[in-house]
């Protein structure tokens, strides 16, 4: 079994690698086999800030009202951008991005016992 301290080490390795979040327009349901954002909107790829607590990581990023305008956003990823490696991908109901609002993406992962 990986003990709590070991899970926190894994948490820190992942958190140290992640640098960006991004919205996209892909609508294929997410699977464990996903390797990247399906259809990323370049203007929405932004640096994330992270918060860690015991066995948890939370990432937060935001886009301005002028970014991503005219896109029907449907997916959000957390990634390491230079390789790139995608750590999480979530698909949601269409949100038509206009210049009337800013938008934030947040993802939290919880690490559980691994045997």
Task: Give the residue-averaged pLDDT of 81-101.
Answer: 94
The answer, yes or no, to whether residue 70 has pLDDT greater than 70, is yes
Phi, psi of 60, deg, nearest 5: -135, 135
What's this model's pTM, rounded to 2 decimal places? 0.91
What is the average pLDDT across 9-34?
95
Structure confidence at residue 83 as a pLDDT band (50, 70, 90): confident
Task: Compute the distance between CA of residue 78 and CA of residue 81 in angstroms, rounded to an integer.
Answer: 9
The pLDDT assigned to 115 comes to 67
**Residue that has been written with the tokens 């349901």 in this structure:** 29
Percent of the chain with pLDDT over 70: 98
Rounded average pLDDT over 40-68 = 96
Torsion sign over Cα 22, 91, 88, 15: positive
Q: Express the helix, strand and coil content of the chain in percent, nearest 5 each.
A: 15, 45, 40
């Amino acid at each position: 079994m990986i003990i709590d301290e070991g899970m926190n080490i894994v948490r820190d390795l992942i958190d140290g690698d992640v640098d960006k979040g991004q919205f996209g327009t892909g609508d294929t349901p997410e699977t464990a086999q996903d390797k990247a954002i399906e259809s990323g909107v370049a203007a929405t790829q932004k640096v994330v800030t992270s918060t860690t607590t015991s066995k948890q990581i939370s990432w937060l990023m935001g886009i301005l009202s002028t970014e991503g305008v005219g896109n029907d956003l449907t997916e959000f990823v957390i990634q390491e951008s230079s390789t790139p490696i995608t750590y999480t991908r979530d698909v949601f109901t269409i949100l038509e991005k206009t210049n009337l609002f800013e938008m934030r993406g947040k993802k939290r992962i919880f690490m559980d016992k691994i045997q």
